[in-house]
Amino acid sequence: MATTDSAERSGRLSRARILEIALEHFAIHGYRGSSLARIAAEVGISQPGLLHHFPNKAALLMAVLAERDVQDLHATGTDPETLSEMDFAELIAFLVRIARHNVQNRDLVQLAHLTAAEATGSEHPAREWVVGRQKFLQSMIESSLRRGVEDGSVRSDVDPRLTTLVLVAAMEGLENQWLVDDEVDMVGSFVQFAEQLQRAVAPTD
């Protein structure tokens, strides 16, 4: 029994280490430029040993992306089930927490941007993840704005769809500028923009 438990624990540790190293490689080299052999060598295992945990490079990428999403939610202390119930102010606060987390985890941001750039073609294994992530974020923001219009916390003449697109563009645009130039104040700039946006959509007395 002890031997079995030790083997299971060792397997979990190996898998976690593979994901850690693979994230770095995918963030730097992208999916196409990354090599299972190089990832395995840096982990300190054979390529067949890596394939014992992940059957191919596509499966490894998807596991890395899933782990990235989990890290985002854990870092913000947010229950996934509450995301769809947030009002616009709560959602802005959540996005600010994400920005504060991201500025401490450059590889996670670079991974998302590089993967999105590579996945413009339908054949890319992460295409569904990229599209699904974008649609989920847009739907979450747009829904909160529509609820705000209905309950009176958002001006009735606000266009939820357009406001959503502008907010997402600000978030991702600031991340992109920060990746190119780390002197860009990604968090401070986003907080200022978010505060201005909240004032702009708030009802006038």
Domains of the chain, residue spans:
61-201
pLDDT number for residue 88? 95
Mean pLDDT in the chain?
90
CA distance 7 to 12: 9
Q: What is the dihedral of CA 162, 117, 22, 27, to 10 degrees?
A: -80
- Mean pLDDT is lowest, of 16-20, 30-34, 67-71, 89-93, for 67-71
Confidence (pLDDT) at 12: 66
What is the per-residue pLDDT for 11?
Answer: 55
Give, rounded to a whole angstrom, the gap between the first and last alpha carbons of the chain: 69
- Model confidence over 180-189: pLDDT tens digits? 999 999 999 9
pTM over 0.75: yes
What confidence tier does 77 reach under pLDDT thresholds 50, 70, 90?
confident
Token reading at 137: 């974020």
**Which is higher by pLDDT, 47 or 205?**
47
Say if residues 43 and 5 touch (Cβ distance below 8 Å). Answer: no
Instruction: Average the pLDDT over 65-69 and give the result.
Output: 89
Tokens describing residue 149: 């219009």
Question: Locate tokens 């991340």: which residue?
Answer: 175
Backbone angles phi, psi at 154, to 5 degrees: -125, 140
pLDDT, one tens digit per residue, over 92-148 is 999 999 999 999 999 999 999 999 999 988 899 999 999 999 999 999 999 999 999
Please tell me the least confidently modeled range out of 69-73, 149-153, 164-168, 192-196: 69-73
Helix and strand totals (H; E) in the chain: 10, 0
Domain 61-201 has CATH 3.30.1490: no
Quick check: 7 pLDDT over 50?
no
